[in-house]
Amino acid sequence: MREDTLRRRQAMLDYDDAMRTQFGVICGVDEAGRGPLAGDVYAAAVVLGEDHGIVGLDDSKKLSEKRREALFDEIQEKAAAFCIATASVAEIEQLNILNAAMLAMQRAVEGLQIQPAYVLVDGNKYPPIALPGETVVKGDATSASIAAASILAKVARDHYMLAQAELYPEYGFEKHKGYGTAEHRAALLQFGMCPIHRPSFLRRIL
């Protein structure tokens, strides 16, 4: 493994240790699925113990699918607490995607078995939760706890889209997970929307 990768991952662990020293129990939060044309938006909240023993936590986008899947199971096994939550396509249409993502993150934090003292949220907007915390831009590459949340949210949403692919096989959801690829756009023009498409995202296509 490259030395710079090892250094970055150690820095993420050190960041969390410093936050625990300052605040006590911390929680990392991230979302997945703001950009796709179809499907629910997912979020996860993760509380890692000081000695969680999970090796290789990183921004989910920097990990292979195989590695994400392995860490998905390990995080759920070794985290002190975690919760995966969603906001539905109907909620995305009602609230807009940003507010629906905030709702999913709120639900994830509120669903934790342990209440954290401080919440670290990936991005630049803090969800409506009644706990102190802060946003961390590029948090999934800064905090191991946020990275763990990014992995849970990403893999859980991928699993959901694989299940949707079996229900609506003509769209190829198993390949693009709902993102607006050329294949997905061509399928939309041929077949129209299915029940999990986000109508507000399709105005320029249909």
164-190 per-position pLDDT tens digit = 999 999 999 999 999 999 999 999 999
pLDDT of 145 above 90: yes
Which two three-digit tokens encode residue 29?
């939060």
Query: Is the per-residue pLDDT at 141 higher than 70?
Result: yes
The whole-number pLDDT of residue 33 equals: 97
- With vertex at residue 164, the alpha carbon angle to CA 160 and CA 169, rounded to the nearest 5 degrees, is 145
Query: What are the residue boundaries of the structural domains of the chain, listed by start?
Result: 3-162
The model carries a pTM of 0.96
> Which residues is 87 bridged to in the sheet?
41
Provide the 8-state DSSP code for 139: G
Indicate the SS3 state at residue 171: helix
Burial 42-67 (b: 16+ CB within 10 A, else e): bbbbbbbeeebebebbbbbeebeeee
Q: Is pLDDT of 1 > 80?
A: no
> 38-47, 146-155, 197-206: which range is least confident on average?
197-206
End-to-end alpha-carbon separation of the chain, Å?
A: 46
CATH topology of domain 3-162: Nucleotidyltransferase; domain 5 (3.30.420)
In 10 A of CB 72, how many CB atoms?
A: 22
Between CA 108 and CA 111 the distance in angstroms is: 5
How confident is the model over 49-94, as pLDDT tens digits? 989 999 999 989 889 999 999 999 999 999 999 999 999 999 999 9
DSSP H/E element including 118? strand 118-122
